[in-house]
Chain A
Amino acid sequence: DAGITQSPRHKVTETGTPVTLRCHQTENHRYMYWYRQDPGHGLRLIHYSYGVKDTDKGEVSDGYSVSRSKTEDFLLTLESATSSQTSVYFCAISQAGGLGTQYFGPGTRLTVL
């Protein structure tokens, strides 16, 4: 199994509060991704990173920001959480971007009340 951890695994927060989710990898993969998974929508890309300090937006990036200050860590921040951001968040890594294969973390279940 690829060495990917996510923290926290579960979080309940209130509308308007900031939230940061962390993804940590031990595989030294260049690419890292944040997805959200909701019933009926499958996995949707929020943001991804193609190197330290290099990030780009995905399909559903509004309301989210990311940072990658070192290879092994990719942070997802909800500046002011809303109930529509209640979801399961998955981090993934890939050695070769769209030409390679992704490996997923265990997920973070976020509930915004």
Chain B
Amino acid sequence: TQLLEQSPQFLSIQEGENLTVYCNSSSVFSSLQWYRQEPGEGPVLLVTVVTGGEVKKLKRLTFQFGDARKDSSLHITAAQPGDTGLYLCAGGTNTGNQFYFGTGTSLTVIP
């Protein structure tokens, strides 16, 4: 069962542009994580958000958790080639021990 929809699936942009990746669900999550994965490696945690409406910033990356805790967004300002990778969102619930992953957004930043 795929509970999290990510969009867009693929994104190719020029260095310096801004972008937003969306992670949407009809389910409520108690926590929402964003990961970045590079080829041949495991996903690396970027951020965890747990409060509805929460906004977290990590340098040029801004993460927002929706007020109803059903959706999240990742905004990158002035993208750089080092931002290239697969971005994954994952939701956790307080009624189970599992995490539910989106299918990912593959980002390519062209120098």
Contact = CB atoms under 8 A, between A and B. Distances in A.
Interface of A: 31, 33, 35, 40-45, 48, 50, 56, 58-59, 90, 92, 94, 97-107
A90 B31 contact: no
Chain B CB within 10 A, most for which of A41, A56, A100: A100
Contacts of A58: 98
25 contacts: A35-B101, A40-B103, A42-B88, A42-B102, A42-B104, A43-B43, A43-B90, A43-B101, A45-B98, A45-B99, A48-B97, A59-B1, A97-B98, A98-B31, A98-B95, A98-B96, A98-B97, A98-B99, A99-B31, A101-B33, A102-B45, A103-B45, A106-B41, A107-B40, A107-B42
A106 to B, nearest CB: 5
Contacts of B103: 40-42
B44 interface: yes
A76 B45 CA distance: 23
Contacts, number: 67
Interface in B54-96: 88, 90, 92-96
* Chain B interface residue number, banded: 20 to 34
| Interface SS, B side | loop
Contacts of B41: 106-107
Contacts of A41: 103
Contacts of A50: 97
B41 to A, nearest CB: 6
A92 B95 CA distance: 19
Contact of B90 (A40, A99, A102, A105): A102
B97 A106 contact: no
A98 B45 contact: no
Contacts of B31: 98-101
A100 B50 CA distance: 9
A104 B42 contact: yes
Nearest to A35: B101
